[in-house]
């Protein structure tokens, strides 16, 4: 019979129960706190989070050493039949993917998905998909599974993906907290759903739609909050990569298609049909968020996680006229956190002169550029403060830089940093358009006097003022 490790227990208790645990943890670069008293307080998940090691990686290592893991509801379930059930579900999902690849219509396979999964808990569906990703299933195929999820939205009986009662209860409790990030996302979804219905009705009646389209443009901010604040969080801290690899890509597709339709001046019947199809995709994503993504967040994210997300969400534009309200509990926590981490105003001596820390911070925040520094190990090391068009949540500091980009962009980021490390180039420049504004983005290889690679510097400059100036000439 396998030994059981309960991740809800403090490390100190687990070490007393399992003699080989410390050695196993060292295999995944987990070293125990030097203060013995801390062992009776911290959990494995706490240490993993501090070192930015995905919890799923640790769980797989423990299982490899013959342990059964409890205490992480997303990746491990107490029911002894779950493993068998999940293998069966993976088999079903693979079979459905093969049918799609063989040309069987999506609607036909959707019906099969509904029969097989309409009464399966959301976390179990995601866990099976997570294992498919870890086994190397191509992301494009996993996106097709995302299309299958929408079968439960289209089902005439409006069956819902099953979520355990306690998860549903916790989700509703978070919805009710004034200012909570999940409450904000839910309100934005409700507002978006209302706008979609009004737009669909206007299209059917042949009425003007420009006002509705302008408001629905807020979907960019809504999706950015998910993409920047939630997807990387659950992927890097908890090892749940499904949403970041699949849903994030679908979000980007919806935003891209919406931009394309908005640029079209000929509002033909084909345009209307394309818009209606896109609105359906938006409705499907609302359903997936509330029945798959949000329950996963409820299961995984701690109060401290939500506090960080709340802090960073303040930098994002209002979507669908839904303002971010103050969350008093988070404000109190963040005020205490800032006070405890404040530093003395020392002096930094450099070849060009001396600056106090206060002066240096003020200078970096005064420069008309957005600054990001990635260290030599590819982790986010520094962002300057202030409003940004290219959002940089402070919760991303210390994370793998690649996890902060959608799958379509990740490959480009890897290529740039790889060429910097290999000495193939020292700088890369590009122009970008975002929210109707023109930007000049530059990536620099940071090297010391001997040419040793120290990291990557990214600068973002808003050049719209220059464009406007020269267009007047």
More confident site: 276 or 349: 276
In sequence order, the β-bridge partners of residue 380 are: 374
Average pLDDT over residues 422-441: 90
Lowest mean pLDDT among 164-168, 218-222, 458-462: 164-168
Instruction: Look at residue 54 in the predicted model and tell me its pLDDT.
Output: 62
Q: Strand 380-383 and strand 370-375: pairing?
A: antiparallel
Instruction: Look at residue 35 in the predicted model and tell me its pLDDT.
Output: 58
Q: What burial class does residue 331 get, using C-beta atoms within 10 Å of its C-beta: 0-12 exposed, 13-18 middle, 19+ buried?
A: middle
Confidence of residue 147 (pLDDT cuts 50, 70, 90): low
User: Rounded to two decimals, what is the model's pTM?
Assistant: 0.64
Say what percent of the chain tops pLDDT 90.
29
Yes or no: say if 409 and 402 are a contact pair by the CB < 8 Å rule.
Answer: no
Token pair of 366, please? 């005064």
Token pair of 472, please? 């007047």
Instruction: Look at residue 74 in the predicted model and tell me its pLDDT.
Output: 39
Q: Strand 437-447 and strand 380-383: pairing?
A: unpaired
| Candidate ranges 5-9, 47-51, 200-204; pick with highest mean pLDDT | 200-204
Confidence of residue 84 (pLDDT cuts 50, 70, 90): very low
Instruction: Look at residue 143 in the predicted model and tell me its pLDDT.
Output: 66
| Candidate ranges 65-74, 94-103, 302-311; pick with highest mean pLDDT | 302-311
């Amino acid at each position: 019979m396998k030994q059981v490790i309960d991740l809800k227990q403090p490390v100190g208790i687990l070490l007393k129960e399992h003699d080989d645990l410390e050695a196993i943890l060292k295999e995944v670069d987990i070293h125990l706190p030097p203060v013995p008293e801390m062992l009776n307080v911290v959990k494995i998940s706490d240490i993993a989070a501090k070192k930015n090691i995905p919890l799923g990686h640790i769980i797989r290592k423990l299982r490899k050493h013959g342990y059964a893991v409890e205490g992480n509801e997303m990746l491990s379930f107490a029911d002894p039949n779950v493993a068998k059930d999940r293998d069966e579900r993976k088999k079903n999902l693979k079979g459905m993917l093969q049918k799609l690849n063989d040309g069987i219509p999506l609607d036909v396979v959707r019906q099969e998905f509904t029969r097989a999964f309409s009464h399966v808990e959301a976390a179990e569906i995601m866990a099976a998909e997570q294992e498919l990703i870890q086994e190397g299933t191509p992301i494009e195929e996993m996106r097709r599974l995302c299309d299958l999820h929408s079968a439960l939205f289209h089902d005439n009986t409006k069956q819902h993906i099953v979520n355990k009662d306690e998860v549903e209860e916790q989700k509703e409790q978070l919805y009710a907290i004034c200012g909570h990030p999940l409450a904000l996302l839910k309100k934005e979804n409700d507002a978006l759903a209302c706008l979609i219905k009004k737009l669909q009705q206007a299209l059917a009646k042949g009425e003007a739609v420009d006002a509705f389209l302008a408001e629905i443009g807020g979907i960019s901010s809504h999706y950015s909050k998910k993409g920047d604040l939630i997807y990387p969080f659950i992927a890097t801290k908890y090892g749940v990569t499904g949403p970041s690899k699949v849903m994030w890509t679908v979000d980007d597709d919806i935003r891209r298609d919406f931009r394309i339709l908005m640029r079209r001046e000929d509002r033909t019947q084909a345009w209307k049909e394309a818009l209606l199809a896109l609105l359906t995709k938006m409705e499907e994503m609302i359903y997936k968020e509330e029945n798959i993504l949000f329950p996963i967040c409820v299961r995984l994210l701690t109060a401290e996680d939500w506090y960080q997300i709340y802090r960073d969400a303040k930098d994002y534009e209002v979507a669908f006229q839904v303002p971010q309200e103050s969350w008093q509990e988070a404000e109190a926590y963040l005020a205490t956190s800032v006070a405890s981490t404040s530093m003395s105003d020392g002096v930094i001596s450099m070849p060009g002169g001396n600056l106090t820390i206060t002066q240096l911070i003020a200078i970096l925040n005064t420069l008309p550029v957005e600054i990001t520094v990635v260290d030599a190990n590819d982790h986010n090391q520094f962002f300057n403060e202030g409003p940004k068009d290219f959002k940089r949540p402070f919760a991303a500091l210390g994370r793998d830089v690649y996890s902060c980009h959608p799958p379509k962009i990740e490959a480009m980021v890897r290529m740039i940093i790889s060429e910097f490390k290999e000495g193939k180039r020292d700088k890369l420049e590009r122009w970008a358009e975002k929210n109707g504004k023109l930007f000049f983005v530059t990536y620099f290889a940071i090297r010391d006097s001997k040419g040793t690679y120290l990291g990557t510097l990214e600068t973002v400059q808003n050049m719209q003022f220059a464009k406007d100036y020269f267009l007047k000439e």
